[in-house]
Amino acid sequence: MQFITSWDDGRKTDLRIAAMLEKYGLTGTFYVSPPETNEKPALSTNEILEIASRHTIGAHSMTHPRLTRIPIDQAKREIEESKQWIEGITGKECNTFCYPAGDFNDQTKKLVKEAGFVEARTVEQLEFKSADYFASPTTLQVYPFPFRKRWTRWWHYIDPLVRLRVFLPRMIALRLPPKAYASWAELAKSLYRYAQKTNQPFFHLWGHSWEIEKYGMWEELEEFLRFVESNNEVIPIII
Ligand SMILES: [Zn+2]
């Protein structure tokens, strides 16, 4: 089984992710967009280069739009220019793309393929294999579970367990143990054990470092990475 990690948006806090991965002998793909796309402090060109020396840098568009909601020629530019922008910084070929907000359709997939990428990641979770390299799902996002830690939208007052509710049918189908429902780290470990036991192709962990900071999840993330490192069967790879 491959242990894959990926981190979106290219914020300063990605440096902490990179250091933590290295501490546990792991690698990641960092999907970065140019600095102007977000109010949170972005990685500088030098910092992207520094991460690129030990990890993979992927493209994430130029301005982080929902690619299915903008004109096709604009989407084409977002995709093509993001590849060139990264290659201009790293001097290496950039062959992986991540759809901003996980938003894509057949047309977007085609544009990504035509731009010369060999794969694209979505935000789909609780999966362990990919049927389509241009719509690769993930296993788990680093995100508060089962409760929200902070109310960020009005509807969160009404449905604080939204993530558990969405995950529940799949968690039951995977026959995860009761403790998987207790915390994010326990869910991650249970999914990992499931993937190993059933010999799945991959476990793909992803997240936003700015969100880990916002929700105070650094310790939970480290607990899981320590668990992964202590597991001898893992072969870390760079995608
Ligand atoms: Zn993003």
How far, in Å, from the CA of 32 to the mean position of ligand 1? 8
- Residue 233 CA to ligand 1 center (angstroms) comes to 31
H helix intervals, the chain: 14-23, 45-52, 72-90, 106-114, 155-158, 162-173, 184-197, 209-214, 218-229
Task: Report the alpha-carbon distance of residue 116 to residue 83 in Å, rounded.
Answer: 9
pLDDT tens for the chain, 239 residues: list them.
Answer: 999 999 999 999 999 999 999 999 999 999 999 987 667 889 999 999 999 999 999 999 999 999 999 999 999 999 999 999 999 999 999 999 999 999 999 999 999 999 999 999 999 999 999 999 999 999 999 999 987 665 566 555 556 667 888 899 999 999 999 999 999 999 999 999 999 999 999 999 999 999 999 999 999 999 999 999 998 664 555 55
Cα-to-centroid distance, 118 and ligand 1 (Å): 19
pTM, two decimal places:
0.92
pLDDT for 58 equals: 98
Distance (Å, whole) CA 144 – CA 213: 11
Helix %, strand %, coil % of the chain (to 5): 45, 15, 40
Q: How far is the CA of 175 from the centre of ligand 1 (A)?
A: 31
CATH superfamily membership of 2-143+201-236: Glycoside hydrolase/deacetylase (3.20.20.370)
The beta-carbon contacts of 191-198 under 8 Å, at least 24 apart in sequence, are 191/126, 191/139, 191/140, 192/224, 192/227, 192/228, 192/231, 195/1, 195/128, 195/139, 196/1, 196/231, 196/233, 198/128
59 CA from centroid of ligand 1 (Å): 10
CA of 33 to the centre of ligand 1 (A): 8
Domain boundary assignment for the chain: 2-143+201-236
Burial call 107-122: b when 16+ CB within 10 Å, e when fewer:
ebbebbbebebebbbb
Distance from the alpha carbon of residue 211 to the mean position of ligand 1, in angstroms:
11
User: Alpha-carbon dihedral of residues 190, 192, 198, 199, nearest 10 degrees?
Assistant: -170
R_g of the chain, CA atoms, integer Å: 17
Task: Compute, in angstroms, the gap from residue 63 CA to the centroid of ligand 1.
Answer: 10
> Hey, which residues does 33 pair with through a beta bridge?
none
What is the pLDDT at residue 159?
60
Q: What is the pLDDT of residue 165?
A: 83
| Residues, beta carbon < 5 Å, ion ligand 1 | 8-9, 100
* d(CA 66, ligand 1 centre) in Å: 10
Say how many Å lie between the CA of residue 7 and the centre of ligand 1: 9
C-alpha 123 – ligand 1 centre gap (Å): 10
Q: What is the pLDDT of residue 72?
A: 97
Largest Cα–Cα distance of the chain, in whole Å?
Answer: 49
